[in-house]
Amino acid sequence: MTVEFEKIKRQNMIKLPYMLDFYPLQDAKFTRIDRFFQNLKERKLTTTKCKACGKVLWPPRIMCPECFSENLEWINLGVDGELYAFTEMKLGAPLGFVEDVPFCIGLVKIGGLLISARIDGAKYEDLKIGDKVTLKIIELEDDRIFYRFCKVKE
């Protein structure tokens, strides 16, 4: 009896699946904070503020975790931030970011919040704590959108 042997072919490369993609799903079919991304398209970085207790929430929410109110409003965080800390991704980048290495990552103070973001427009060596940074918007190939910051030229 011969044992049957067959070499089968499979698709070698697959499209980066959404659940291995760090950028969030953004339209109203998948999230109730789609307004955040619509605002980004209009070049505005916004978040939700609780109208009941006054807490500014980050990330934007559909309910205030402090008082459970759903009475939230969208507020504009402006475009001017300050670098609180920064580093550079030199090794160990995940799928989707490998091509960008090396790139700078920072913690940015903006609108009373401290948020992480990619920092463009400068090498690691050119950055210092306290640097002024300004909002930058990026758009992905599938029209999804996200924010980064850029070092302000002195």
Partner 1 sequence: MKKVAIVGGGASKCGRREASWRDLVQEAGKAMFENVGNISPKDVDSLIVGAAQPERFVFQAHVTPMVAECLGITPRKVAARTELMCASGQAAIRYAWACVGSGMADIAVVFGVEKMYMPDMTEAQTNMTCVLDREWDGVNGLSAPPFFAMTAQRHMLEFGTTKEQMALVSAKNHHYSTMNPAAHFQKEVTVEDVLKSIVISPPLNLFDCSSITDGAAGVILVPAEDAKKYTDTPMYIVGTGQASVGNVINNLANITEWVPLKMAVQETLRTANITRDEIDIAELHDCFTISEIMEYEAFGWCEKGSGGKFIENGEPHIGGKVAVNPRGGLLGCGHPLGATGILQALDIFQQFRGEVPQGRHVKGAEVAVAHNLSGAANVHSIIAYSRDLK
Whether the bond into 59 is cis, omega within 30 of 0: yes
Stretch that binds partner 1, among 3-11, 37-45, 71-79, 84-92 (CB under 8 A): 84-92
Q: Determine, following the binding rule CB under 8 A, whether residue 115 of this chain makes contact with partner 1.
A: yes
Pick from 50, 117, 122, 135 the residue near partner 1 by CB under 8 A: 117
53 part of the interface to partner 1, by CB under 8 A: no
97 part of the interface to partner 1, by CB under 8 A: yes
Element (H, E) at 36: helix 34-41
Give 79 or 145: the residue with its C-beta nearer to partner 1. 145
Q: Kindly tell me which of 1 and 92 has the beta carbon lying closer to partner 1.
A: 92
Q: Check residue 50 for interaction with partner 1 (CB under 8 A).
A: no
Listed in order, strand segments (DSSP E) in the chain are: 46-50, 56-57, 72-76, 80-89, 103-110, 113-120, 132-139, 145-151
Q: Give the C-alpha separation, 62 to 72, whole Å.
A: 7
CB-neighbour burial class of residue 42 (10 A; exposed 0-12, middle 13-18, buried 19+): exposed
Length of the chain: 154
- Any contact of residue 67 with partner 1 (CB under 8 A)? no
Comparison of 101 and 152: residue with beta carbon closer to partner 1? 101
Per CB under 8 A, 118 contacts partner 1: yes
Q: What is the CA radius of gyration of the chain?
A: 20
Q: How far, in whole angstroms, is CA 18 from its chain's centroid?
A: 15
Map the footprint of partner 1 across residues 16-35, applying CB under 8 A: 20, 22-24
Contact positions vs partner 1 (CB under 8 A) = 20, 22-24, 58-59, 84-95, 97-98, 100, 103, 105-107, 113-118, 124, 129, 146, 148
